[in-house]
Amino acid sequence: MTMTAPDLDWYFTPGNRFQEPGENGLAGTMSVVRAPGALWLPTGQVTACDPFVSLGTGEAEPFTAAVPPGRYAVECAVATLTRPGEEPGGQPHERIAAARLLISDAPALSWEPALTAGQDPAELDDDEFYGYGVDAGTGCFYDASCDESFPVDEDGEGPVWEAVWGGDDTSDASGPHLVTAPGSGHNLVAFTSGWGDGAYPTWVGRGADGQVVSFVTDFHVVPDGVGARV
């Protein structure tokens, strides 16, 4: 049995606040930033990965939960973090807590792990999950058919690298960034991954009719138990 999904809608409610336990625990205030354009899913086969590790290699598998082909919004839940007694600085300390691919405006009434072929939640312990590995501090959403449209980003070169890390304004590095592949029109949305490298689960939200309304990757910035779904 896999871990229980947190209340992911809580992450995407601007103004929500959390406080880590302990005298020096971080406090966070949530906001939402939407990508500057829609993600194109020509086949509806959603894929999520670290683009600097798996994009263009054919290694990333799409989720088994597919959606109608189309263009969809992507947004990030951003936590602005402070510590008790900390003097405010010129630049807010912000981390992307989660990234959401919105398929529908309908609310998600249930959540399930986003699985790839061959994954079985029954094989997991209560605190285990399936997720994608991050080794370059970045995640993304894209359509499985677009994988080969993006050259592998190496040595600080390539469209994804330029979009995320190539700008002069480092305050804008977190994203979300809409990146279009040269020549094909295929695109992806990339964003930094919370505290950086690690492994992160993606959840599928379903509406009252059982249809997929969203995919959400949780980057484990919000403490366990905040907005937990019972």
40 domain-assigned: yes
* Cα 84 from chain centroid (whole Å): 28
1 domain-assigned: no
Q: What is the pLDDT of residue 228?
A: 43
Q: Domain of residue 21: give its range.
A: 8-218
Q: Is the pLDDT of residue 168 over 50?
A: yes
3 domain-assigned: no
Integer CA distances (angstroms), 139 to 16, 17, 31, 90, 106, in order: 24, 24, 19, 27, 25
30: confidence class by pLDDT, cuts 50, 70, 90: very high
Which of 97, 88, 64 lies closest to 176, judged by CA?
97
**Regarding predicted confidence, which is higher, 102 or 86?**
102
Interval 201-221: pLDDT, tens: 999 999 999 999 999 999 999
Going by DSSP bridges, is the β-strand pair 110-113/27-34 parallel, antiparallel, or unpaired?
Answer: unpaired
Place of tokens 């993600």: 39
184 domain-assigned: yes
How many structural domains is the chain composed of?
Answer: 1
Contact (Cβ atoms closer than 8 angstroms) between residue 220 and residue 99: no
